[in-house]
Amino acid sequence: MASPVQMPPPLLPPRRSFAGPVVLIIIGVLFLLGTMRILSLGMLGHWFAHYWPVLLIVWGIIKVLEYQQAQRAGVRPAGIGVGGVFLLIGLIVVGLSATQASRFDWDELRDHIQVDDDDFHIFGETYSYEDQLQQAFPAGSSLHVVNDHGMVNITSSEDGQIRVSVRKRIVTEGRSAADKRNDQTKPQISVSGNTVTLNANTQNGGDHGVTADLDISIPRKAAVVIASRHGDVSVVGRDGDIDISNQHGDVAASDINGKVSLTLENSSARVEQVSSDVSIQGRANDVSIEDVKGTVQLNGEFSESVKLSRLDKAVTFHTPRTDMEFAGLKGDLDLDSGDLRANELAGPLRLSTRSKDISLDGVSGDIRLQNENGSVEVHMTSLGSTEIQNRNGDIQIYVPDKAGFVLDARARNGEIETDFDTLKINNDNDTGIGTGTVGAGGAHVTLSNEHGGIEVRKSSTSGAPPAMPAMPKMPKMQKMPKMPNGPKAGDGPQPTDN
């Protein structure tokens, strides 16, 4: 008789896995150390972004040990379970996100949302260092400054020396790493021919945030070239030319006897008291220029406002939306996305723009003006050859009471009004026509408007034209704050094309 088949004993129910709880305990302990300030949250973030796969390794080791123990005990090995699956998925997703975040160019994002350097570092602590450099500055030399991250402030020295005061901030995971980065990013001065180069050397910080603020004093006669990113620039008191390229900062230049050339990218600029020419190009935010004895050229995109005051010579302004040239400005000009206001402006004036309300007071000389989708109001002090074309807005021109001129005015879908009795006005058939000669004639005044009226007035009928409101000045460059001694631990709109 065959013996009965022996059935293996049934396996006991599996014990619950403790891999998930162990991983949670490790994460909880690390966060507890962070909240107790034993470890900084920045350091925890850095560790997690780089070493989170260790938690998966710990999980796997525990599962292997549990499997071997289950085999010896004759029980089924514990599975991962639904909760464990969700925990693993969450750990992997958060870990990969943290790793990518640690590699992301946060400086670029910070520039777009305009957050200060010290408030925007996630993975690391901030440590502060100071340094001093000094050496002879060769006579007749120019200075070239390169600084990727940090302010540049240039003043005049009383001797033939270059003196540099450096205030550095380094964001990294610990003091030893910060000390290493500090040694790797020492500013460097080199001399080649007639060029002295000062390199802040912040690029050697790699993916760690290194910011170096530079206070520089050099002889007043020296020309200066500055290449700056992620920081403000200030130059005061200079007889030589200055050439500044800046991104994401505020540029200030004052008391300059040489030429001023600025190339801006998402920066603002204030230029004043310049004895020579001024040129600004690129993509700028606020721009303010005043008390310039040379020519002024602005070419690019200006997303916020342009303020000009007391410019002795010709001004050229070009953007994708506005072209403007005039001979000089004794008063003020204020230009933004919707308005252009100016007083005491000397012609010949050439202006072509759109979607602006234009108000010009105290204009002398010839005028060539084109506009659409806005009103035009011009008060003349000395009448020259005048041609104004507008669309979808009224034209008002005020001329001196005793001025002589020849008028040719046409308003389609609008009417013409005048204070001068010798002019012939006909407002029939949806088109106003004004012609005639005032006084002895002389200057030709040609006015053309579609979908708007035309008024030709005597200056006396307007009374005293309202004075231009005082234009607020751009805030001056703030002095760079002194960094505290010792370590410091723990803590877009699209351009409107004026």
Which of 496 and 26 is assigned the larger pLDDT? 26
Note the pLDDT of residue 16.
63
Note the pLDDT of residue 113.
46
Across 194-216, average pLDDT: 83
Across 263-280, average pLDDT: 95
Q: Which helix (H) or strand (E) holds 31?
A: helix 19-35
DSSP bridge partners of 360: 342, 378
Q: Which helix (H) or strand (E) holds 107?
A: helix 106-113
Q: Which helix (H) or strand (E) holds 408?
A: strand 405-412
Question: How many CB atoms within 10 Å of residue 120?
Answer: 15
DSSP bridge partners of 59: none
> If pLDDT is split at 50, 70 and 90, which confidence band does 37 have?
low
Separation of alpha carbons 260 and 48, rounded Å: 49
Across 139-166, average pLDDT: 93
Q: Secondary structure of the chain: what % helix, strand, coil (to 5)?
A: 20, 45, 35
Hey, CA dihedral for 261, 266, 267, 271, is it positive or negative?
A: positive
Separation of alpha carbons 378 and 190, rounded Å: 56
Name the percent of the chain lying above pLDDT 70: 78
* Top mean-pLDDT range of 393-397, 456-460, 468-472: 393-397
The burial class, CB within 10 Å (0-12 / 13-18 / 19+), for 372 is middle
Q: pTM of the entire structure?
A: 0.71
Question: How many CB atoms within 10 Å of residue 160?
Answer: 13
Is 258's pLDDT higher than 80?
yes
Q: Which amino acid is at 197?
A: T
Name the percent of the chain lying above pLDDT 90: 54
> If pLDDT is split at 50, 70 and 90, which confidence band does 36 have?
low
Separation of alpha carbons 187 and 145, rounded Å: 11
DSSP bridge partners of 252: 234, 270
Q: Which amino acid is at 317?
A: F
Which of 121 and 323 is assigned the larger pLDDT? 323
Which of 36 and 183 is assigned the larger pLDDT? 183
| pLDDT tens digits for range 122-136 | 456 788 999 999 999
Note the pLDDT of residue 7.
53
Which of 9 and 196 is assigned the larger pLDDT? 196
Q: DSSP per residue over 369-383, as a string?
A: EE--SS-EEEEEEEE
Name which of 91-100, 189-198, 457-466 the model is least confident about. Answer: 457-466
